[in-house]
Amino acid sequence: TAADKGAYPFFMLKEIDEQAIVTRTLIEHYFVNGLPHINEKIIQAIKQSDRLYIVAAGTSYHAGLIGRRFFEKWAGIPTETHIASEFAYDRPIISKKPFFIFISQSGETADSIQVLDFVQKESYPSLTISNVMNSTLTRESDFALPILAGPEIAVASTKAYTAQIMTQVILAAAIAGGHSELQEELSRLAIDLQAEIDGKEKIKQIADKYLVNANRTFYIGRGADADSTLEAALKLKEISYTLVEGFAAGELKHGTISLIEQATPVIGLISQSKMAGLTRSNLEETMARGAKAVTIVTKNLATKDDDIILPALTGEMEMFGPILEAIPIQLLAYYTSLGRNLDVDHPRNLAKSVTVQ
C-alpha cells in the first residue's frame, strides 16, 4: 500500500535507501565482541568440505558470484557458483565432500528447490542464506542464515542483493577464524553506502542524460567488477525494457564492440586497481567509435574527469567494490525506469518470486 512506502514514490527507492541501515543490522546480529559469529555447526560442516557449491537464480546468483571470491580468498575453500536451473539438469562433477550454499531472497524459487531435492537425496550438507527464515529452502536445508534485509517489495531486488553479499562476507570471515578488522570495515561501509545514497541526484542526472533515451547500454568491468556488470545489466534491463549487456571488459573486442554506435552508453565499473588501466583503455576504444563512456570508479582510482566517484577502497578492501557499485547501478536503473515513465516496482512479465521451473 501507499502508506508502507511513506513519502517514497516507489518501494524500489525506499529499499535502495535502506542499505546502510541493513548493513548495521547485519553487524549487530552477526558480531560478538568484535568478531564474526556464526553457529559453530555451520562452520565445522563447511570446514570439513573440500568445495563449496553456491546455487541461486537471478540477482541471488549474482550475489553468489561476488561471494565466491570471499570464500576462496578469505576462507581458502575452492568455490563454484551455479545457476540453479542449469545445475538441476546439467551438473558438473561434484567433489568428494561438497557443501551446498543456496542463496535466495524469498526461499521459494522452484529452480533452487529442485537442486536442494537432489542435494538431500545425495545426503550432501546444505545451508540457505535467505531473507525469509520460514521458507521452503530455509526449512528444508540443514542450516539457514538470515540476511536481515526486511521485507523487499519491489520486484527488482536491491537491499537483498547487498545483504546477501555481506552475509557471505561475514560467513567467509568466520570460517577463516575471525577477521579482527571486519566489524570496523563494515561500519565504514555503512557510512560509505549512506554517502552514496545521499548523492543520488548526480546519478539521476546521468540517467536522464545518457540512459533514458538509449535503446542499448553496455556495462564493462574486470575481476570482481566483471561480476558486478551482470547485476548492473540485469537491474537496468528488467525495469527499463532496454537492451543491456554486462560482461568482462576484455571480451569487448571479441564481439560486442561491433554494436557500438554514436552515443551508445558504455558504463565502466572500476574498483580493482590491477585492472583499472585496462578497463579504461577499453572505454577509450568504445569512445573512438562514438560511444558515450560513463565511469563509475572508486576515489583512489579516479581522476577529475570521471563521472561517478565512489568512496575509496584500498588493499584487500577492493573486494568490497561490487557492494559500493550496487548503489549507483541500482539508482541508474531506478531513474532510467522513472524517466521512461514505467511502473518501477512492477515490471511487466516478472514476478518477485518464481515458483515454477
- CB-neighbour burial class of residue 32 (10 A; exposed 0-12, middle 13-18, buried 19+): exposed
- Residue 15 host element (H or E): helix 11-17
Q: Which is nearer to ligand G6P, 5 or 346 (CB)?
A: 346
Minimum CB distance to ligand G6P, residue 265 (Å): 23
- Contacting positions for ligand G6P (CB under 6 A): 57-60, 104-106, 109, 112, 155, 157, 350, 352-354
Cβ 285 vs Cβ 154: under 8 Å: no
- CB-neighbour burial class of residue 64 (10 A; exposed 0-12, middle 13-18, buried 19+): buried
Minimum CB distance to ligand G6P, residue 35 (Å): 28
Q: Which is nearer to ligand G6P, 130 or 242 (CB)?
A: 130
Q: Which is nearer to ligand G6P, 160 or 293 (CB)?
A: 160
Q: Which is nearer to ligand G6P, 231 or 307 (CB)?
A: 231
CA geometry: angle 299, 286, 263, nearest 5 deg? 95
Minimum CB distance to ligand G6P, residue 22 (Å): 15
Q: Which is nearer to ligand G6P, 30 or 161 (CB)?
A: 161
Minimum CB distance to ligand G6P, residue 125 (Å): 20
Residue of closest CB approach to ligand G6P: 58
Q: Which is nearer to ligand G6P, 230 or 308 (CB)?
A: 230
Minimum CB distance to ligand G6P, residue 153 (Å): 11
Minimum CB distance to ligand G6P, residue 52 (Å): 18
Give me the half-sphere count of Cα atoms (radius 13 Å) on the Cβ side of residue 59: 29
The amino acid that residue 235 corresponds to is K
User: CA-CA distances (angstroms) from residue 7 to 2, 4, 202, 312, 337?
Assistant: 9, 9, 21, 31, 19
Rounded to whole angstroms, the Cα distance separating 46 from 127 reads 9
- Residue 65 host element (H or E): helix 58-73
